Copies of this chain bind each other. A is one copy, B any other.
Amino acid sequence: MIKQLTKKSFLDQLNKQAAPSQDKETIFETAKTVIQAIREEKDAALFQYIEKFDGPLTGDIEVSKEERKAAWEKVDQRTIQALERAAANIRKFHQKQIKESKFMQHDAEIVSGQLYRPIEKVGIYVPGGTACYPSSVLMNAIPAALAGVEKVIMVSPARQGGEIAPILSVAADISGVDTIYKVGGIQAVAALSYGTESVEKVDKIVGPGNAYVAAAKSLVYGDVGIDMIAGPSEVAIIADESAKAKHIASDLIAQAEHDTLARAYLFTTSKSLIEETERELVEQLEALPRQAIATEALTRFGGLVLVTSLTEAFELSNLMAPEHLEVQIDHALDYLRFIKHAGSVFLGHYTPESLGDYYAGPNHVLPTSGTAKFSSGLSVDDFVKKTTFLYYSKEALEQSKDDIVTIATEEQLAGHARAVLKRFED
């Protein structure tokens, strides 16, 4: 089961996880083949791969209006209400991310500024099959809709029987998805990137997926935009004597049940908390439906790290740059200032990660594997572009003329200098 790690053995384990794997090469080769085929042969190749990877497709690839309406009858009211309240919270949080076009300078001689414009068409990848995550629909589609994206297209593989899980269709309606296609995996990413006769091309693809989806996204990057390359999910918990082992164990398990590759670490100043957490883990794992998955993840990629101070705990956390960071300390808000790199932060004793995963408002699509050092969770920003603009009057250009000519000459781009000089020839 979960190991006690020192600072050094924790860092070693972290570095080992970052090494490239052989698997990755094979997955990339598969993705390359599928993408090229769909790019060239379009629907002909697409339907072949759907049949092969997702299973037989009954009916149209696009979920019809009737199917979407019928889905509402198949989901119980309690669940619909919970999703609607979650959507309201998510909308409220993300609304404050909306930015307005603005001027940097605005006078008679010089005007400059920056426009915010929505991306026109966005594709949202939602895992399907056995897994079924309506919360992912909300987290991806709501910021897109708030940004003003004209067309939000969702893709998800059909279940056996050829239909999308009704709950995903309902979540799509709640969060403003325009079109749903029943397709998953590499083939979904390829079809959205280049378009086929039956799947509309988009400008950007977001959303989580397995290693194949991640590989496909990184291969189409540049031809379309992508949000990020997601790795296995992870949590780091910083706790002191005020924390309860019961809470910590339940949060480590919630993380570990996702995936056998999930990562879950505790950094604490309390030796007794480590021992109690070990006992709690054993007890709580017993009745867990996904016990095998969680146990494997905790054993291989988990760790309980005793630190000498909270300062050291935040240092380790900043080195890890975890996707999720919980701070189970009294007056936790006061510790926010020590956090340099993390996807999303959960403060205090009553803010479990699952509250944020589903419900409270912040996005759950977050940078993993240390990429929080240079990237951010999904937000409205991911669905808008900034276009800078500039106006100079003739007088303003004349005043700047000599400097521009000087720099252009230094860079040996005479045409650049002349473009200014030509305007003052007459």
Q: Which residues of A contact B (CB under 8 A)?
A: 18, 78-79, 81-83, 85-86, 92-93, 96-97, 102, 104-105, 110-112, 114-115, 117, 119-120, 131-135, 167, 203-204, 218, 221-225, 229, 246-247, 250-251, 253-254, 256-258, 284, 288-290, 294, 332-333, 336, 339-363, 367, 371-377, 379, 381, 385-394, 396-397, 400, 402-404, 406-408, 410-420, 422-423, 425
Contacts and interface: CB of A to CB of B under 8 A. Distances in A.
Given A344-B390, A391-B347, A418 B360 contact: no
Contacts of A254: 413, 415-416, 418-419
Contacts of A120: 340-341, 373
A266 to B, nearest CB: 14
A371 B415 contact: no
Oligomer: number of copies: 2
Identify the 7 closest CB pairs spanning chains A and B, nearest first.
A225-B374, A362-B388, A82-B403, A354-B416, A376-B386, A345-B389, A257-B415
Nearest to A377: B388
Contacts of A408: 354, 358
A327 B272 CA distance: 69
Contacts of A81: 403
A180 B373 CA distance: 22
A105 B88 CA distance: 14
B410 A167 contact: yes
A345 B425 contact: no
A275 to B, nearest CB: 18
Given A391-B332, A397-B355, A413-B254, A229 B222 contact: yes
A20 to B, nearest CB: 8
